[in-house]
Amino acid sequence: MENKIILEMNNISKEFPGVKALDDVTLKAHAGTVHALMGENGAGKSTLMKCLFGLYKPDRGEIILNGSLVDIEDSKTALDNGISMIHQELHPVHCRSVMENIWLGRFPATGIGPFKFVDHKKMYNDTKKLFKDLNMDIDPCAIAGNLSVSKIQSMEIAKATSYNSKVIIMDEPTSSLTENEVEHLFKIIRELKSKGVAIIYISHKIEEILKIADEVTIMRDGKHIGTWAASELTTDMIISKMVGRDLTNRFPERTNVPGEVLLKVENLSSPFPKSFKNISFELRKGEVLGIGGLVGAQRTELIEALFGLRSILQGGIYINGKPVRIKSPVDAKKYKIALLTEERRVTGIFSVLPILENTVVANLSRYIKPYFILDEKKRKADAQMSVEKLRVKTPSIRSLIKDLSGGNQQKVLIARWLLTEPDILLLDEPTRGIDVGAKYEIYTIIAELAKQGKSIIMISSEMPELLGMSDRIMVMSEGRLSGIIEGKSATQEEIMRLGMLKK
Ligand X SMILES: Nc1ncnc2c1ncn2[C@@H]1O[C@H](COP(=O)(O)OP(=O)(O)OP(=O)(O)O)[C@@H](O)[C@H]1O
Which 8-state DSSP code applies to residue 231?
A: G
**3-state secondary structure at position 118:** strand
Among 32, 44, 308, 487, binds ligand X (CB under 6 A): 44
> 15, 403, 421, 448: which one contacts ligand X (CB under 6 A)?
403
User: How far out from the chain centre does Cα 332 lie?
Assistant: 25
DSSP 347: H
Identify which of residues 193 and 224 has a Cβ nearer to ligand X in the complex. Answer: 224
Residue 30 near ligand X by CB under 6 A: no
**By CB under 6 A, is residue 432 in contact with ligand X?**
no
Our finding on whether 45 is near ligand X (CB under 6 A) is yes
Size of the site for ligand X (CB under 6 A): 21
Rg of the Cα trace of the chain? 24
CA gap 409, 417 in Å, rounded: 13
Site string for Mg ion, 74-93 (x = CB under 5 A): --------------x-----
Of the listed pieces 262-270, 287-295, 353-361, 404-412, which binds Mg ion according to CB under 5 A?
A: 404-412
Among 36, 38, 46, 157, binds Mg ion (CB under 5 A): 46
Taking CB under 6 A as the criterion, the residue among 393, 416, 439, 472 binding ligand X is: 393
Rounded distance between C-alpha atoms, residue 455 and residue 131, angstroms: 42
Q: Is 461 in the site for ligand X (CB under 6 A)?
A: no
State which of residues 21, 70, 123, 289 lies at the interface with ligand X (CB under 6 A).
Answer: 21
Query: In angstroms, what is the minimal distance from the CB of 380 to ligand X?
Result: 20
> Is the distance from CB of 29 to CB of 6 less than 8 angstroms?
yes
Nearer Cβ to ligand X (42/354)? 42
Out of 32, 286, 406, 499, the only residue in the binding site for Mg ion (CB under 5 A) is 406
54 lies in the binding site for ligand X (CB under 6 A): no
Between 143 and 400, name the residue whose CB sits nearer to ligand X: 400
Q: Which of 206, 199, 164 is nearest to 185 (CA)?
A: 199
Q: How far apart are CA 167 and CA 6, in angstroms?
A: 8
Neighbours of 365 (CB within 10 A): 7
Is residue 174 a contact point for Mg ion (CB under 5 A)? Answer: no
Cβ–Cβ contacts within 10 Å for residue 448, how many?
A: 14
Q: How far apart are CA 445 and CA 443, in angstroms?
A: 5
**Nearest approach, Cβ of residue 433 and ligand X (Å):** 6
Of 352, 458, 456, give the one whose Cα is nearest residue 404: 352
- 405 near ligand X (CB under 6 A): yes
Query: For the chain, what's the residue count?
Result: 503
By beta carbon distance, the residue nearest ligand X is 407
393 binds, among ligand X, Mg ion, none (CB under 5 to 8 A by kind): ligand X
- Three-class DSSP category at 141: coil
Say whether residue 174 binds ligand X (CB under 6 A).
no
Residue nearest to Mg ion (CB): 46
Q: List b or e across 175-199, with b for residues whose CB sees 16 or more CB atoms inside 10 angstroms.
A: bbbbbebbebbeebbeebbeeebbb
Q: Under a CB-based contact definition with an 8 Å cutoff, are residues 175 and 143 in contact?
A: no
Would you count residue 43 as binding ligand X (CB under 6 A)? yes
Among 7, 35, 41, 469, binds ligand X (CB under 6 A): 41
Using CB under 6 A as the criterion, which residues of the chain lie in contact with ligand X when the complex forms? 16, 19, 21, 39, 41-47, 88, 393-394, 403-408, 435
Using CB under 5 A as the criterion, which residues of the chain lie in contact with Mg ion when the complex forms? 46, 88, 405-406
